[in-house]
Amino acid sequence: MTETADGHARKFNEIDAPPQIRVSASQSAEISLTWKISRSGNPARFEREDGYLMCLRRTNVPKNPRRIDGRSVVMPRMAHGQSLLADLNRKHTKTIHTAISCISFHVSRGAIDRFLEEHGLPKVAFLRAVQGAALDDPMIENLGNCLLPAFQRPEAANQLFVDYVALALLAHLVTRYGEREITMPPARGGLAPWQERRTKEMLLASIDGKIGLDELAKGCGLSRSHFARAFKTTTGMSPLRWLHVQRINRAKDLLLNSALPVDQIALQCGFADQSHFTRAFLKAVNATPGAWRRRGAR
């Protein structure tokens, strides 16, 4: 585990880690910027916490397997300059059998909330971390490259400059990938804002739907029947229907922004198989996944 400046342990574990270099330009309990160079591949595990990790690749990384909440996911090949956004509310385990170099930006949920409050921005429910898809985001690449001199000579780094780059990265992530919270006051008898956020996080962490009303209700401190009524009052739909909409939205994102085959997208979006996915997608958008992808690429 790595240690933050105030002694807090980051929830990142390397398993039998080989020799590597770590250079931290900025590190606190809530935000850290790290340049990591591994001389050879190594298994690693990201423990669950309420936050996000953005990794900017400085080398090409071949297709590699990882497990997210116990589900097998094949990560596509990532090129130099591409990035990956991981939701640390989910448990990630990965193994990359090659040397890697990446700039990592770790941010807690508390840091996101305080940043938005300080700047008078609307709250976000979560960051849209598409599992199994690489991001082609020039802003992340450019901001990450700005940090290279600080990583190469940390003893001479301008801390104020590093802090501003970190804030710029945070601003970009919440404006580009933030899903806004409902700003209207909840209807009478609905969920409290924290209950709504907690429920949606739990549902998205179990995208395959293998989570029951009992567990969701317990996470909100409510009875099952009270929770079911309150969720529908707040969102206008049942938890099952809400999750189905999120599956379709995630599938659309992967169809447009990744080269993953349709069968792999089906699994990553929680559908039983490609046939199940095709039927659900056709019913939702009146087009098959393949036809919708071709139409969106034009």
At the topology level of CATH, where does 12-180 sit? Jelly Rolls (2.60.120)
Transcribe 77-114 into DSSP letters: PB-TT-EEEEETTS-EEEEE-S-EEEEEEEEEHHHHHH
The pLDDT of 207-230, averaged and rounded, is 84
CA 154, CA 143: separation in Å to the nearest integer?
17
Higher pLDDT, 162 or 241: 241
Domain coordinates in residue numbering, the chain? 12-180, 183-236, 246-298
pTM over 0.85: no
Burial 258-273 (b: 16+ CB within 10 A, else e): bebebebbbbbbbbee
State the pLDDT at residue 17.
38
Per CATH, 12-180 and 246-298 having the same topology is answered no
Query: How does pLDDT run across 104-156, given as a tens digit for each residue?
Result: 888 888 888 888 887 777 888 788 776 667 888 899 999 888 888 888 887 77
Between 28-42, 85-99, 207-221, the lowest mean confidence (pLDDT) is in 28-42
Query: How does pLDDT run across 32-90, given as a tens digit for each residue?
Result: 878 876 655 555 666 677 888 888 888 887 776 666 666 666 676 778 888 888 888 77
CA 298, CA 229: separation in Å to the nearest integer?
43
What are 245's two structure tokens? 């909409």
State the pLDDT at residue 106.
85
How far does Cα 79 stand from its chain's mean position?
19
Backbone dihedral angles phi then psi of residue 238, each to the nearest 5 degrees: -75, 160
Using pLDDT thresholds of 50, 70 and 90, give the confidence band for residue 212. confident
Query: How does pLDDT run across 13-46, given as a tens digit for each residue?
Result: 333 333 334 455 555 556 787 887 665 555 566 6
What are 243's two structure tokens? 């999750």
CA 151, CA 181: separation in Å to the nearest integer?
36
Q: Is 230 a residue whose pLDDT tops 80? A: yes
The CATH-assigned architecture of domain 246-298 is Orthogonal Bundle (1.10)
Query: How does pLDDT run across 163-197, given as a tens digit for each residue?
Result: 778 888 888 988 888 877 544 444 457 898 899 99
